C-alpha cells in the first residue's frame, strides 16, 4: 500500500488500489480498449458511506474525480490520468418488492444483475441490449432497448434516486423531493452527483418472450430496408424490430458459406401472446429469401444476453450515432453503401426502433429531450489492433457526416465519444439552459466534469 493513501484506506470498508498493487492494471481496465489511462488511486467502494468519504478525500487532496459503474461507456469517462476513480462496481445489490413492483438497485449493478433479480418475479424494466452494460451509465444517459416501445425509456421508469452532490449532501431525488435534480439526472448524465441507489418501476414481462433473428442476404438489403420502413409504421408496441447490418457471425442456423459474409438481420422481440406474435412475424419473413432464421419462445434473460458475444470487452471501439424521425430513401442508400464496405469483420450498423411509448413523453418532462426520435442509428466501429484505428474511425466519421442531413434533432449521449463535447448543447436542445442552471446549483465548480459535460 502506498502510504500516501493510507488515511483513506483506513476510513472506508472498501479497498484502495494504487499503481504498485498487483491488480492495478486489471482494476483500471474499462470496456473500450482504446481507453488507456492511469489514475493515481482507484477506490472500490462498498457502500454510500465509502463514496462520500472518498469524494471528500478527493476534494481535500485536489484530485480529479471520475465515477465508474460498470466501465462500459464508449467515451471512457470512468477513468482519467492521475486522478481518483470512485469505483462502484462492487455495489451490485438489487432488491425487488413484488408488492409495489419496484426495484432498488445499487449503482454497480449490470443489466444482467437487474434482469436476473426482476425476472425471478416475472418483472422487468426497460434497459439496454447488452447484459454487461452498467445500470448507472445507461440510466443517466436515457436508456432504451427491447421494452422501450411498450414501457418507455429507462428514465421514464425511474421513480427516485439517492444522490451524493458535489458539496457532500446525500439527497433523495424524485418528483416530490429535489425535483429539479430528478429532472436533470434523467438524461443529464453524471453531471450532477454520484448516484448510490436507483428505484425503478417494474412491469410484467415474460418469463418467456418471442424473440430471435431473421438473416437475409446483403444483396436483398435494399428491399428489406424499404419493407422494414413500411412495416414499422403500423407495428404494435408489443413488437420491436431492429435492423443490424454486419458480417454474419458463425451462427449455427446459418449455412457455413454465409459465415463472414455481409448480411442484413432483423432482430425481433415480442412480449405479447406467443401465438399472436407468430402471426405478426409472418410478414417479416416475406421481406426476402432468408439465409436462415432462429425465432421462438425463450427466456427474456436469455434474449437480453444474446448479443453479449459480439460486445465483449477488450476490443477497440468507436461509435457515431444519429436520431431519425423517418428513414429517408437517401439515408437507406447510405446505409447500404457503408454496410457494404465494413473496415473490420467486427463492425456493424444498427437501427433501433423507438417509436411508441418513448414518444409519448413531453420533450421538456426531463433532461432527455429527443422525444420525436422514432429510430436511433448507431455506427459501431469495432476492431482489434491500433494499426486499424485510422481506417475504422474514418469509416464511422464519414458515414456519420454523410447521414447528418437526414437526421433529426438531439443526440443520445450514451453513444457519444469523448471528442463529441461540442454536441452536448445540441443533444439537449431547448432543455440545455435549464440543465446549466441546475448544474450551477448542484455543482458550481464542475467537480463532475469527466462526462458529456454541461458547464455551469
**Where in the sequence of the chain do the CATH 3.30.43.10 domains occur?**
11-87
Q: What is the DSSP letter of 327?
A: -
Question: Structure pTM?
Answer: 0.94
**Where in the sequence of the chain do the CATH 3.30.465.10 domains occur?**
94-205+432-442
CA-CA-CA-CA dihedral for 111, 116, 118, 120, to nearest 10:
170
Q: pLDDT tens digit string along 372-414?
A: 999 999 999 999 999 999 999 999 999 999 999 999 989 999 9
Architecture in CATH of 208-419: 3-Layer(aba) Sandwich (3.40)
**Residue 1: per-residue pLDDT:** 45
User: Which residues are 241's β-sheet partners?
Assistant: 268
pLDDT in tens, the chain (456 residues): 445 788 898 999 999 999 999 999 999 999 999 999 999 999 999 999 999 999 999 999 999 999 999 989 889 999 999 999 999 999 999 999 999 999 999 999 999 999 999 999 999 999 999 999 999 999 999 999 999 999 999 999 999 999 999 999 999 999 999 999 999 999 999 999 999 999 999 999 989 999 999 999 999 999 999 999 999 999 999 999 999 999 999 999 999 999 999 999 999 999 999 989 999 999 999 999 999 999 999 999 999 999 999 888 989 999 999 999 999 999 999 999 999 999 999 999 999 999 999 999 999 999 999 999 999 999 999 999 999 999 999 999 999 999 999 999 899 999 988 888 889 999 999 999 999 999 999 999 999 999 999 999
**What count of other Cβ atoms lies within 10 Å of the Cβ of residue 402?**
15
Query: What is d(CA 431, CA 449) in angstroms, rounded to the nearest whole number?
Result: 19
How distant is the alpha carbon of residue 93 from its chain centre?
Answer: 20
Query: What is d(CA 68, CA 298) in angstroms, rounded to the nearest whole number?
Result: 32
Q: Please state whether beta strands 84-87 and 65-68 pair in parallel, antiparallel, or not at all (unpaired).
A: parallel
Helices 329-339, 221-234: crossing angle, 10 deg rounding = 140
**Where in the sequence of the chain do the CATH 3.40.462.20 domains occur?**
208-419
CATH class of the domain comprising 94-205+432-442: alpha beta
Query: What is d(CA 456, CA 437) in angstroms, rounded to the nearest whole number?
Result: 7
Which CATH code, of 3.30.300.30, 3.30.43.10, 2.60.40.420, 2.60.40.10, is assigned to 11-87? 3.30.43.10
Q: pLDDT tens digit string along 350-371?
A: 999 999 999 999 999 999 999 9
Query: What is d(CA 86, CA 308) in angstroms, rounded to the nearest whole number?
Result: 26
What are the DSSP E strand ranges found in 219-331?
A: 239-247, 262-270, 292-299, 316-324
Amino acid at each position: 500500500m502506498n502510504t500516501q493513501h493510507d488515511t483513506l484506506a483506513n476510513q472506508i470498508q472498501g479497498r484502495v488500489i494504487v499503481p504498485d498493487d498487483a491488480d492495478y492494471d486489471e482494476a483500471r481496465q474499462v470496456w473500450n480498449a482504446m481507453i488507456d489511462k492511469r489514475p493515481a488511486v482507484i477506490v472500490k467502494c462498498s457502500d454510500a458511506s465509502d463514496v462520500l468519504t472518498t469524494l471528500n478525500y478527493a476534494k481535500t487532496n485536489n484530485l480529479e474525480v471520475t465515477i465508474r459503474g460498470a466501465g462500459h461507456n464508449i467515451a471512457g469517462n470512468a477513468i482519467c490520468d492521475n486522478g481518483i476513480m470512485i469505483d462502484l462496481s462492487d455495489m451490485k445489490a438489487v432488491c425487488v418488492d413484488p408488492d409495489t413492483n419496484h426495484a432498488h438497485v445499487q449503482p454497480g449493478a449490470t443489466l444482467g444483475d437487474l434482469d436476473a433479480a426482476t425476472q425471478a418475479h416475472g418483472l422487468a424494466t426497460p434497459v439496454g441490449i447488452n447484459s454487461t452494460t452498467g445500470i448507472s451509465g445507461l440510466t443517466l444517459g436515457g436508456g432504451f432497448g427491447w421494452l422501450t416501445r411498450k414501457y418507455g425509456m429507462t428514465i421514464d421508469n425511474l421513480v427516485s434516486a439517492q444522490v451524493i452532490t458535489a458539496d457532500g449532501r446525500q439527497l433523495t431525488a424524485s418528483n416530490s423531493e429535489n425535483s429539479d435534480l430528478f429532472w436533470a439526472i434523467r438524461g443529464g448524465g453524471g453531471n450532477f452527483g454520484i448516484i448510490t441507489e436507483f428505484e425503478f418501476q417494474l412491469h410484467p414481462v415474460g418469463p418467456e418472450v418471442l424473440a430471435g433473428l431473421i438473416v437475409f442476404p446483403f444483396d436483398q438489403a435494399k428491399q428489406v430496408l424499404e419493407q422494414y420502413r413500411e412495416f414499422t409504421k403500423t407495428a404494435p408496441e408489443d413488437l420491436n424490430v431492429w435492423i443490424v447490418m454486419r458480417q454474419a457471425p458463425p451462427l449455427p442456423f446459418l449455412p457455413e458459406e454465409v459465415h463472414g459474409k455481409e448480411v442484413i438481420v432483423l432482430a425481433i422481440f415480442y412480449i405479447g401472446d406467443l401465438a399472436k406474435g407468430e402471426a405478426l412475424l409472418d410478414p417479416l419473413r416475406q421481406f426476402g429469401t432468408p439465409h436462415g432464421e432462429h425465432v421462438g419462445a425463450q427466456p427474456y434473460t436469455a434474449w437480453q444476453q444474446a448479443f453479449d458475444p459480439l460486445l465483449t470487452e477488450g476490443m477497440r471501439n468507436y461509435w457515431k450515432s444519429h436520431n431519425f424521425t423517418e428513414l429517408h430513401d437517401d439515408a437507406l442508400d447510405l446505409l447500404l453503401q457503408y454496410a457494404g464496405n465494413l473496415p473490420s469483420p467486427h463492425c456493424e450498423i444498427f437501427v433501433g426502433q423507438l417509436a411508441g411509448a418513448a414518444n409519448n413523453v413531453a420533450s421538456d418532462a426531463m433532461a432527455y429531450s429527443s422525444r420525436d426520435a422514432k429510430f436511433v442509428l448507431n455506427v459501431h466501429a469495432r476492431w482489434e489492433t491500433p494499426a486499424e484505428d485510422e481506417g475504422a474511425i474514418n469509416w464511422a466519421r464519414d458515414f456519420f457526416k454523410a447521414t447528418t442531413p437526414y437526421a433529426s434533432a438531439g443526440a443520445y449521449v450514451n453513444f457519444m465519444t469523448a471528442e463529441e463535447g461540442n454536441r452536448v448543447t445540441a443533444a439537449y436542445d431547448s432543455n440545455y439552459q435549464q440543465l446549466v442552471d441546475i448544474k450551477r446549483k448542484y455543482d458550481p465548480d464542475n467537480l463532475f466534469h469527466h462526462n458529456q459535460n454541461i458547464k455551469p
